Structure formats: C-alpha cells, structure tokens
Chain A
Amino acid sequence: EVQLVESGGGLVQPGGSLKLSCATSGFTFSSYWMTWVRQAPGQGLEWVANIKQDGSEKNYADSVKGRFTISRDNAKNSLHLEMNSLRAEDTALYYCARSSGWTSDHWGQGTLVTVSS
C-alpha cells in the first residue's frame, strides 16, 4: 500500500523558516516524480513544486520561487520542502504527493503550516 506521511508543520513568524518532510513507503520512491501541493484554509488547491526521480529537475510555482527548495533523499525514501522568508499567505495545509508523469496519483494527509506573529 502506498503511504505518504508529512511532518514538520507548525507555527512560524513572518520571515521565518521551516522544513517539511514526507516519509514514503509501499512503492519504489526513486522511480517517481514527487510533488508538493498546498491548500490555504477554506480555499482551493495550489501546486507548489515538483522534483524529478533523480533530483536533476525541479519546478516551482512563481509564488514560492526563490524562497522554497524541494529536495529528495532516494536512500531514505523521503521528500523535503525547505521554506524560507515565510509570509502570511504561505499559511496552508501542505500535501506531499507521488506523481506518475506529472500527475499526482497518491497523496498524504498533509501538514499544517501557519505563518503568524
């Protein structure tokens, strides 16, 4: 069974940093693109970033480019999102997703990031 479990969310002040992680199991992690998607409270889905199987290609939404960094550790079957210069508008539930091609086919339950003073 494919499982994705996000962690690392919490309350952070504006301008602060946070690193999210996603532990995976039940599939060959190194064979899939991986993706982060977020959802602000009561709002729709926003694609954040994705990363190729070997980490050689990364893509970002304009809203996070230059502030967020996606990375992966294929030896540990884990995905990460390092978030810097956080803003109130980054407050959201952050989902980790396995992607077949670029389509996300399995999702975790999400980890909540709140940016507030």
Chain B
Amino acid sequence: EIVLTQSPGTLSLSPGDRATLSCRASQSVTNDYLAWYQQKPGQPPRLLIDDASTRASGVPDRFSGSGSGTDFTLTISRLEPEDFAVYYCHQCSHSPLTFGQGTRLEI
C-alpha cells in the first residue's frame, strides 16, 4: 500500500498569501496518477488537480500542481477567502488507492 504523508498538518495564512502544500508518497506513484481535492465543511470533496498537474474543469488558475515520483506539491498562488479548507492528496496508481491525511488551510 502506498502511504501518502501530507505536510504541514495545518497551515495558517492570510488572504493574498501564497500557499504551498506537500504530499510525499512511500513509493513512486506510477504515471504521476496523483490528485488533489479541496473539502469544505459539510461538502463532498472537490477535484482540483488530476495527474499531478492538470487542473480540473472550472478550477481557477491560482491553483497549480507539480511534482513526480514520490514528491508532489499543490500551490495556491494568491489565497482567496473561499480557499480556506482542507486539502487531500490521493494516489490513483496502485490498488488499494489511498489518501493523505489532509492539510487544513486556515486564516
């Protein structure tokens, strides 16, 4: 099983700041099948990034994904108030599929 470790656990920033979230895999994620999700309270997760760096439909371009192999990063270039949420990485290359434990982005 691929274990995904996200850091930091909590990130405290302000609107307008740049956010950098990390996801490290215990073994290589084949074909960079790594996704990022945003989840707000009382809502299901929303797909932001697919295949490590492809923005999902309707996702603002302030969100970007990078990385390959075992190290991946989600960057939010300039935080908007609606970006404060929990973010999960998710590897979709090997069964069982796994999620990271999440990074809480707070004001």
Number of B residues with CB within 8 Å of any CB on chain A? 24
Task: Assess whether A101 is interfacial by the CB under 8 Å rule.
Answer: yes
Task: Assess whether B12 is interfacial by the CB under 8 Å rule.
Answer: no
Contact B96 A103 (CB under 8 A): no
Interface size band for A: 20 to 34
Task: Assess whether B102 is interfacial by the CB under 8 Å rule.
Answer: yes
Within the complex, which residue of A47, A62, A103, A104 is in contact with B33, where a contact is CB–CB below 8 Å? A103
Contact A102 B1 (CB under 8 A): no
Chain A, interface SS category: strand
Of all chain A residues, the one with the shortest Cβ separation from B43 is: A109
Q: In the complex, A60 Cα to B96 Cα: how many Å? A: 7
Of all chain A residues, the one with the shortest Cβ separation from B54 is: A103
**Cβ of A50: which chain B residues have Cβ within 8 Å of it?**
95, 97
Task: Assess whether A11 is interfacial by the CB under 8 Å rule.
Answer: no
**Cβ of B16: which chain A residues have Cβ within 8 Å of it?**
none
Of all chain B residues, the one with the shortest Cβ separation from A6 is: B44
Task: Assess whether A88 is interfacial by the CB under 8 Å rule.
Answer: no
Contact B44 A110 (CB under 8 A): yes
Residues 83-98 of A contacting B (Cβ, < 8 Å): 95
Task: Assess whether B11 is interfacial by the CB under 8 Å rule.
Answer: no
Within the complex, which residue of A37, A45, A59 is in contact with B95, where a contact is CB–CB below 8 Å? A59
Interface string of B1-35 (1 = CB under 8 A from A): 10000000000000000000000000000000101
Task: Assess whether B76 is interfacial by the CB under 8 Å rule.
Answer: no
A28 to chain B, nearest CB (A): 17
Interface string of B74-104 (1 = CB under 8 A from A): 0000000000000010101101111111100
Task: Assess whether A108 is interfacial by the CB under 8 Å rule.
Answer: yes
Residues of B whose CB lies within 8 Å of any CB of A are 1, 33, 35, 37, 39, 44-47, 50-51, 56, 88, 90, 92-93, 95-102
Residues of A whose CB lies within 8 Å of any CB of B are 37, 44-47, 50, 59-62, 95, 100-110
Write 12 A-B pairs (CB below 8 A) sorted by A numbering: A37-B45, A44-B88, A44-B100, A44-B102, A45-B99, A47-B90, A47-B98, A59-B96, A100-B50, A103-B90, A104-B35, A104-B90
